[in-house]
Structure 1
Amino acid sequence: MGDGSGLGFERDERGVATIVLRRPDAANALDQPLADALVTVTARIAADPDVRVVVLRAEGRFFCAGGDVKAMVAADDRPAMLDHLADTIHRSLAVLDGLAVPVVAAIQGPVAGGGLGLVLAADIAIAADSAHFSTAYTGVGLSPDCGVSALLPKAVGFRRAMRMLLHGDRIDAATAADWGLIDLAVPADGLESAVTAEVERMLAGPHPGLGEARRLVRASYARGYADQLDDERRTIARMGGTEAAASRLARFA
């Protein structure tokens, strides 16, 4: 995918779908064309039964600096522009959240604002040790978007999330790993090998069981215990009919 939207996409023959932010000169900030492309790409992934793993990547020095501040400043009707942009990005994040497919983030550089929403959309997040993370909303007088207010406290805890949101605290990659915002902080020259190892691990796992596990956990955030139990019952019964479960159960027995 190379249509000038600022987003790249490809799926290989093994079922690895890779989404790449390609606005390096703008710190991979989220503008309307990129947001529109995200909606198209996530819908495409959701409709493809052969996708086994989704990988989020970015080009350039930044992973994602959040919303495009220059576009906000230039907007004739800023509230309408922000409403439309956030609505578009949120639609793609909702699709990602509902996938029965593991999502891995390869974070090569700094993350701010709505970019945190992309990190939190991933089930496994691996960052170069030179990366850092901030909410950034206080700096521009805005409130959180991209699911940050919902998922950041779940990842790092209420108090830490509040410090990041209210004080604008920036944390380094090692701290982000210690807090649970990411899984690993690795030397920059080891990022690719660490991400590749994680993708290979996901591909070697039982499909679609792994993806259903991530879907169930994410679905639990928005519903009650009884509904979660019901979904677990239906899902484990469905997984029991898969070839992966049959072969692994027989081997285990």
Structure 2
Amino acid sequence: MEAALGTKVRYEAADGTARITLCSPGDGNSINPQMAAELLAAIRRAKADDARVVVLSAEGRAFCVGGDIRSFSSADNVEDFLDDLAEGLHHAVSELYRMNAIVVSAVAGVAAGAGVALAAAADIVLAAQSAKFTLAYTGIGFSPDGGTSLLTASLGLHRTLHMALLNPKLSAEEAQAAGLVAEVHPDDELPAAVEKVVSTLLAGSRTAQVATKRLLREQATPLPEGALRKETLSIRSCAASPDGQEGVAAFLGKRPPQFPSGQPAK
């Protein structure tokens, strides 16, 4: 069964498995209000269909490049825009965390910014060898959102700080060594690897799987929604700051940013 939820997310469900595919490769599957709304609608559809397993993947050369920065620059009020956008994405992330399904993400190509956090919202993260992971928020004068702060539970505080402050681009193997990715496969073998994980989950005890997911997630991140709201308040403030405005302008102008807060005092 395939459901048309819009133009940016495709939903398919059969045999206990829901497949949610980001399908806006022309813009790197970037997150704008439409993408966030369609993603949430797909997750709700999976819940309504009582899916046992949810597979989150993407079309094109990128898994998700993060927020649609061009839309930030055209917003009448960037604080309100970022508040609404982040909350829409955070609602989807919260649903993935709490749904009675095991979520598997399949990452090929670049996952940047909120794309990293979205991939990590899954319970099991599989990656192609082509995958690259980078946060990049501070590079445009923003603080992270999408659940990035929750990565401290899986990566540790200092590794997460390193990723968030210096914006390295991790290979799939480096992301696996850091604890973000469970398995790495050659690109052409990733679909088969995903199906093997799905089959293993479907052959197991749903009762035990859901109970295990809840126990471990609640231990690692007992108050995820509070952390997500803090991320929203922080990113909206950063976006409206002189540094945030300069970061967006520099990104769109394809030039290095000159952050006002980093300039020497005159």
TM-score by length of 2: 0.80
Fraction of identical pairs, as percent: 38
Structure 2 match to 1:41: 42
Structure 1 residues 80-111: Cα deviation after superposition (integer angstroms, max 9, x where no partner): 11110001111111111111211111111110
* Unmatched runs of 5 consecutive residues or more in structure 2: 224-266
One-letter identity of the residue aligned with 2:47: A
* Unmatched runs of 5 consecutive residues or more in structure 1: 225-253
Structure 2 match to 1:73: 73
One-letter identity of the residue aligned with 1:204: A
CA distance in 2, matches of 1:149, 1:159: 12
Structure 2 match to 1:11: 13
Structure 2 match to 1:240: none
One-letter identity of the residue aligned with 2:153: K
1:3 shift after superposition:
4.6
Q: 172-181 vs 70-79, which deviates more?
A: 70-79
Structure 2 match to 1:116: 116
CA distance in 1, matches of 2:38, 2:214: 23
CA distance in 2, matches of 1:11, 1:111: 25
CA distance in 1, matches of 2:126, 2:98: 21
CA distance in 2, matches of 1:122, 1:106: 9
Structure 1 match to 2:156: 157
Q: How many residues align?
A: 221
Structure 2 match to 1:238: none
CA distance in 1, matches of 2:101, 2:208: 9
One-letter identity of the residue aligned with 2:18: A
After the TM superposition, which residues 18-37 of structure 1 pair with which residues of structure 2 at under 5 Å, given as runs?
Answer: 18-37=19-38
1:127 shift after superposition:
0.7
Provide the aligned C-alpha RMSD in A.
Answer: 1.4
CA distance in 1, matches of 2:214, 2:18: 17
CA distance in 1, matches of 2:69, 2:139: 11
Structure 2 match to 1:236: none
Q: Is the 8 A contact 1:65 1:111 kept in 2?
A: yes
2:93 counterpart SS class:
helix
Q: 206-215 vs 56-65, which deviates more?
A: 206-215
Structure 2 match to 1:234: none
2:63 counterpart SS class:
coil
